[in-house]
């Protein structure tokens, strides 16, 4: 169990505005993902857990061990916290070979045991052949594997990763995910990682925290959050939704339906407990859930008339961008047949509407 309740205020600096982090964070998932735009306090949370930053108040605990407590003034130095930290730029020691980097982390062990452990790690992370090289002779992926192996050798209570995929190309990213799954399977060390890549959060995360401006907006499994963003801010952070501002026209608890007016169109949504007629609500819909078709008649219930502005190919589909800032996916053949047409209709299935 990792608990981090941290509060820290930063006065405005020469080239930075004032910033306050106020995050309450508790997880016992094998892999926890901190997701959010840069400057939202994700890395600061890692730094507070590792002991690089001293919060103004709050508490940091791993399992039953108290690492920081604002009220009693407990603040263990990083050396005593046993938090493995994988930095964005890997922070390998440039004056040492890869093997020496690993040995540095294992020096608390007796010599024979250390040698065996380091060799095991070199094998596990496919670094044995290049163990004699210095960091500047390694590729990005190798440096990363070395950095993870080094952190694990110190037998940390938690492995903290700061945007591990930043700056890696697609192949290396996939490789990193394989490595992290391996770590997850071979070690019991829980992982907390910072990312702003949604695919990565889904690929690896068991639990996800959405950060914005120093606060946690929502937490849950990635699927939970994706299916049910708690607020407009979360939906915007995830960045994969059409966001519509609509007015509640009718509410029918008996049939579990509602009618929402968006621009001049009526959409049928689920019943909205707690809302009243005339309320303005935000509706979010994922592009792949909309059904675009060529306009042949006036739009009916659950349909919106739109003009096609741009089409861009995506893996496996075409992404159509319409006026009103609406985006929908369509399969390539359907698009090719109608590519010259401008007037389209978008179908909004009732189940696709998520009202915030």
**Among 95, 188, 296, 351, contact with other proteins (rule: CB under 8 A):** 95
* Contact call for residue 99 and other proteins (CB under 8 A): no
Nearer to other proteins, 140 or 300 (CB): 140
Cα angle 176-90-173, degrees, rounded to a multiple of 5: 20
* Contact call for residue 82 and other proteins (CB under 8 A): yes
31-39, 100-108, 176-184, 275-283 -> range binding other proteins (CB under 8 A): 100-108
* Contact call for residue 76 and other proteins (CB under 8 A): no
**Among 10, 19, 87, 187, contact with other proteins (rule: CB under 8 A):** 87
* Contact call for residue 10 and other proteins (CB under 8 A): no
The alpha carbon of 70 is separated from its chain's Cα centroid by a whole number of angstroms, namely: 29
* Contact call for residue 232 and other proteins (CB under 8 A): no
77-85, 262-270, 318-326, 335-343 -> range binding other proteins (CB under 8 A): 77-85
* Contact call for residue 89 and other proteins (CB under 8 A): yes
| Site for other proteins, residues 106 to 135, rule: CB under 8 A | 107-108
Nearest distance, CB of residue 143 and other proteins, angstroms: 12
Size of the site for other proteins (CB under 8 A): 29
Nearer to other proteins, 81 or 196 (CB): 81
* Contact call for residue 78 and other proteins (CB under 8 A): yes
Nearer to other proteins, 189 or 231 (CB): 189
**Among 35, 85, 211, 322, contact with other proteins (rule: CB under 8 A):** 85
75-83, 206-214, 255-263, 285-293 -> range binding other proteins (CB under 8 A): 75-83
* Contact call for residue 105 and other proteins (CB under 8 A): yes
Alpha-carbon torsion angle 7, 8, 12, 17, nearest 10: -40
* Contact call for residue 166 and other proteins (CB under 8 A): no
* Contact call for residue 137 and other proteins (CB under 8 A): no
**Among 83, 149, 203, 284, contact with other proteins (rule: CB under 8 A):** 83
* Contact call for residue 270 and other proteins (CB under 8 A): no
Nearest distance, CB of residue 126 and other proteins, angstroms: 21
- Angstrom distances, CA of residue 159 to CA of 21, 44, 71, 321: 22, 15, 26, 41
84-92, 163-171, 228-236, 293-301 -> range binding other proteins (CB under 8 A): 84-92
Cβ contacts of residue 78 below 8 Å, gap of 6+? 50, 51, 52
* Contact call for residue 93 and other proteins (CB under 8 A): yes
Nearer to other proteins, 102 or 327 (CB): 102
Cβ contacts of residue 148 below 8 Å, gap of 6+? 86, 125, 159, 161, 179, 180, 183
Nearer to other proteins, 156 or 269 (CB): 156
In the complex, the residues that contact other proteins under the rule CB under 8 A are 50-52, 77-85, 87, 89, 91-96, 104-105, 107-108, 150-151, 153-154, 156
């Amino acid at each position: 169990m990792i608990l981090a309740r941290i509060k820290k205020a930063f006065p405005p600096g020469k080239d930075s505005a004032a910033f306050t982090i106020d995050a309450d964070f508790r997880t016992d998932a094998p892999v926890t993902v901190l997701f959010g735009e840069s400057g939202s306090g994700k890395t600061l949370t890692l730094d507070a857990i590792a002991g690089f930053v001293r919060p103004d108040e709050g508490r940091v605990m791993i399992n039953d061990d108290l690492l920081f407590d604002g009220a009693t003034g407990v603040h263990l130095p990083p050396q005593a916290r046993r938090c493995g930290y994988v930095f964005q730029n890997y922070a390998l020691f440039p004056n040492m070979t890869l093997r020496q980097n690993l040995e540095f982390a294992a020096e608390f062990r007796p010599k024979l045991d250390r040698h065996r452990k380091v060799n095991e790690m070199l094998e596990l992370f496919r670094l044995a052949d290049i163990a004699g090289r210095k960091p500047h002779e390694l590729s990005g992926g190798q440096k990363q594997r070395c950095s993870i192996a080094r952190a694990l050798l110190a037998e940390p209570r938690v492995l903290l990763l700061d945007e591990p995929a930043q700056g890696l190309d697609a192949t290396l990213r996939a490789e990193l995910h394989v490595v992290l799954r391996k770590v997850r399977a071979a070690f019991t060390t829980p992982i907390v990682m910072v990312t702003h890549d949604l695919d990565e959060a889904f690929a690896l995360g068991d639990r996800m925290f959405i950060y914005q401006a120093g606060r946690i907006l929502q937490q849950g499994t990635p699927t939970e959050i994706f299916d049910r963003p708690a607020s407009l801010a979360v939906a915007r952070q995830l960045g994969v939704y059409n966001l519509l501002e609509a007015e509640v026209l009718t509410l029918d608890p008996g049939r579990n339906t509602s009618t929402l007016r968006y621009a001049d169109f009526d959409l049928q949504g689920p019943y909205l407990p707690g809302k009243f007629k005339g309320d303005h609500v935000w509706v979010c819909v994922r592009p792949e859930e909309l059904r675009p078709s060529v306009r042949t008649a006036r739009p009916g219930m659950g349909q919106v008339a739109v003009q096609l502005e741009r089409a861009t190919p995506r893996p496996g589909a075409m992404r159509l961008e319409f006026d009103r800032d609406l985006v929908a996916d369509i399969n390539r053949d359907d698009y090719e047949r109608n590519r010259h047409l401008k007037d389209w209709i978008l179908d909004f299935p009732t189940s696709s509407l998520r009202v915030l």
